[in-house]
Amino acid sequence: MQDEVGRYVITHKDRLLRLGADLVFAICEDKQAEVVILNQGEDTQRESGFEEAGIQHQNYLCVDLSKFGGTEKRMTETRAIQPSDLYQLRALAEPQMSADGRFTALVVIAVDKEQDGYIYELHLMDIQSGHVSIISSGANKLRSPRFSPDGGQLAFIVSQEEHGEHVYVGETSSLSALSNWTLNEGTLAGAKFKDLFTKRKLAAELSWFPDGTSLLLAQVSSTLPDVKEYANVYFKTDGTGLLRQVETQFWLVPLEGEPRQFYKQQSGIGTMAVSPNGSEIAFTVQKFPGKGSWEADIQLVNVESGTVRPLTDSNGPIRAISYAPTGNSLVWLGHQSAASYGTESLWMTDLVSGQSRALLPQFDRPIGVIQKGDVSPVSGTDRPVFSTDGQSVYFVAQDGGPTHVYKVGLDDGTPVRLTGDAQRCVSHFSVSTAGDVLFVSSTPDKPEELYLLRGGIEEQLTGINQAFCKQVRLAQASRMVFQGADNWPIEGWLMLPPANTSTANTATAQDAPYPLVLVVHGGPHGAFGCGFTLKHQALCGSGFAVLYVNPRGSQAYGTDFAAAVIGDWGGKDYIDIMNAVDKVVADGWADGARLGVTGYSYGGFMTTWIIGHTDRFQAAAPGGCVSNLISFQGTSDIGKHWGPKEHLANVYDGFETLWARSPIAYVKNVNTPTLLYHAEGDDRCPIGQSEEFYTALRDLGTEAVFVRYPGGSHSYGTTGKPSYRVDTQERLNRWFREKLGSTKSTVSSKKSP
Ligand SMILES: CC(=O)N[C@@H](C)C(=O)N[C@@H](C)C(=O)O
């Protein structure tokens, strides 16, 4: 065993016992290889479990230990990572722990290349033994696995396109004893589940009532006539399209007996939660539906009578609500700022007075998952969780690059970071009643895995992406802090192509200076962080150094830093970014004659802005760009309420200001070959933004290519068809290779990045 195997799948534990299980387990532990036992019990037909696991589940390397010595060896040679590795990577989501801390449930998402979609698996792991049952798998989207309060049952939602959405419930112990992996499309393990409740469409999540005998579900119905009439300024949302008539019905669904609808309303909801005594539920609603603003409020509805009580009078967004164990208050994520750069924080609302207070008034960092890398097609899990004694709250926050789990006492306001000090991104978390923290985390050079923090000790529970990582060379990110405009300290990261050797994941200094691709994030109030980002890795895999920076405007550095780009898009943010380029060129890592730039959304704005203001880049690739702030205002779903706040100008009052800040105003200056890409269904930065820029470039005789992806939304790059995601990155790699080349150039002196 020379670190060549990431996971052993043992078909029959009893056979292994005969062969010296302790020795094998000790070796596996020493080599950090994971052990999965398929059949815990009797020595049945060897072939059954092995074949199902080995042949059908390509994620795991299966070793038949009964042959002892017949281990398959994985090749030790590594290869460059490439865009199509999206098909190999797995995303992990919604980890949940049973109340007794014995089991974890986890959604594992893989790409289905043939169907050009995603496969969702529900994994149930016995933490002590490491036994994993894959209890559901298929092309149907699976979400919201939730253990009953006593841990005895596991419920979840499966979305089966034409058959609507199903809620299944099964007994945890019998599910965990499953040894057969049922991986046929859409199958559930045996007849172990009850198909409890079905509706065409359900809200995002389910909740258990505290006595464990019933579930809370929200049914969502919507209608969209052929001919639409709107009398509000707000009429579409990116991702869901044109505004519809929506009705929400709340259902109490008992495990035995008839479901009961106890409340309905003529609008959608955000998140919901059941009170600790089960008598009431809290949910969030948009405050001004039709205005397109983000203010939300909390309402409470009595489960018995269906009477509703408004709780808050909020000035900002509210989401991810959680009841205190006493039932006297709720915590939630959101903010109370009218600004377009409002950063979500942690709030608590008293259920009697309706008064809200910030729990972290001094911790000026975004609470929640704002950046999680680019592999997973689903959002992070960041609902705050009360400790069992009700005295503190667990949450995730991004502070600079890293995102960690923290805990704060209700009255001390000082967060304590729980998940170490690594440059990592926690993308999903949950907390057990005993205070164990279960979380999904990735780093720039390690994709998502599941971890458990128990008694202050952190343990990696899965190795789902481990075998993949051993095949490829992964680039490491070197953090740098440099001077931006006004001498502000700005944070960024440089990744260098890993050396072409079978063992090292390190870059070789003698190959510098490298052709460089600068990547600009969206927002502008987004942020780069420490999550695994295939885009960056794939560019490095193609031989480029990759530079990514959090210029002013980014979140995670405080409100003033985020606010500093207001009314100044293309101003000091541009200087911050260009200073980073100057630094890596001056330090000898990047070849100043072979520079490329790409970015998405506001990153696309910055890309088109940069090439209108300098000829230093030999190639550009703006994606989903904003190129004209004037047309953006009336055509983007957020153009009317968000645009004027960002630019301090309106089309009817500040036309010149908007024009002066629009990349299209400088298109005559552009000499850089430009590849534009855009999803046709983008309602955030409509495709007209690329069309305008492309048409002007072609008109002016500048080299330009325009790639259009059918349908989709602004987030097609993470949630869209996998083939479009891979195609985008392959085109970017080809474009930059063609324009920047990938051969070595003359060496200059180097400082450490
Ligand atoms: C607020 C917003 O959606 N702004 C867009 C212009 C943008 O840049 N979006 C970012 C978050 C993205 O990456 O999609």
Domains of the chain listed by start with CATH number: 2-77 (no CATH), 90-199 (2.120.10.30), 472-740 (3.40.50.1820)
Distance in angstroms (rounded) separating the CA atoms of residues 491 and 534: 20
Q: Is the CB of 599 under 6 A from ligand 1?
A: no
DSSP 476: P
42 pLDDT more than 60: no
Band the pLDDT of 14: cuts 50, 70, 90. Answer: very low
Can you tell me the mean pLDDT for 392-409?
98
Measured by CA distance, the residue closest to atom 7 of ligand 1 is 523
ipTM confidence: 0.96
Q: Is the CB of 686 under 6 A from ligand 1?
A: no
Can you tell me the mean pLDDT for 267-277?
95
Ligand 1 centroid to residue 621 C-alpha, Å: 17
Can you tell me the mean pLDDT for 151-156?
95
Ligand 1 centroid to residue 524 C-alpha, Å: 7
Q: Is the CB of 523 under 6 A from ligand 1?
A: yes
CA atoms within 13 A of residue 641's CA, in its CB half-sphere: 21
pLDDT digits (tens, 9 = 90+) for 588-621: 999 999 999 999 999 999 999 999 999 999 999 9
Of the two residues 15 and 361, the one the predictor is more confident about is 361
Report the atom number in ligand 1 closest to the C-alpha of 601.
Answer: 8
pLDDT digits (tens, 9 = 90+) for 465-478: 999 999 999 999 99
Ligand 1 centroid to residue 523 C-alpha, Å: 4
744 pLDDT more than 50: no
685 pLDDT more than 60: yes
Band the pLDDT of 383: cuts 50, 70, 90. Answer: very high
Confidence (pLDDT) at 511 = 81
Distance in angstroms (rounded) separating the CA atoms of residues 464 and 299: 40
Express as a percent the part of the chain with pLDDT over 70. 85
pLDDT digits (tens, 9 = 90+) for 163-195: 899 999 999 988 887 654 443 334 555 557 889
Ligand 1 centroid to residue 737 C-alpha, Å: 27
Q: Is the CB of 713 under 6 A from ligand 1?
A: no
Length of the chain: 753
Can you tell me the mean pLDDT for 366-383?
96
Which contacts (CB < 8 Å, 24+ apart) does range 110-115 have?
A: 110/59, 111/86, 111/87, 111/722, 112/139, 112/722, 113/87, 113/722, 113/723, 115/139
Confidence (pLDDT) at 134 = 86
Alpha-carbon radius of gyration of the chain: 26
Ligand 1 centroid to residue 522 C-alpha, Å: 5
Can you tell me the mean pLDDT for 726-740?
98
> What is the distance of C-alpha 89 from the center of its chain?
14
30 pLDDT more than 80: no
Report the atom number in ligand 1 closest to the C-alpha of 626.
Answer: 6
Question: By mean pLDDT, which of 40-44, 184-188, 402-406, 458-462 is the weakest?
Answer: 40-44
Band the pLDDT of 111: cuts 50, 70, 90. Answer: very high
Report the atom number in ligand 1 closest to the C-alpha of 524.
Answer: 8
pLDDT digits (tens, 9 = 90+) for 281-327: 999 999 887 776 789 999 999 999 999 999 999 999 999 999 999 99
73 pLDDT more than 90: no
Q: Is the CB of 714 under 6 A from ligand 1?
A: yes
Ligand 1 centroid to residue 633 C-alpha, Å: 14
Can you tell me the mean pLDDT for 689-715?
98
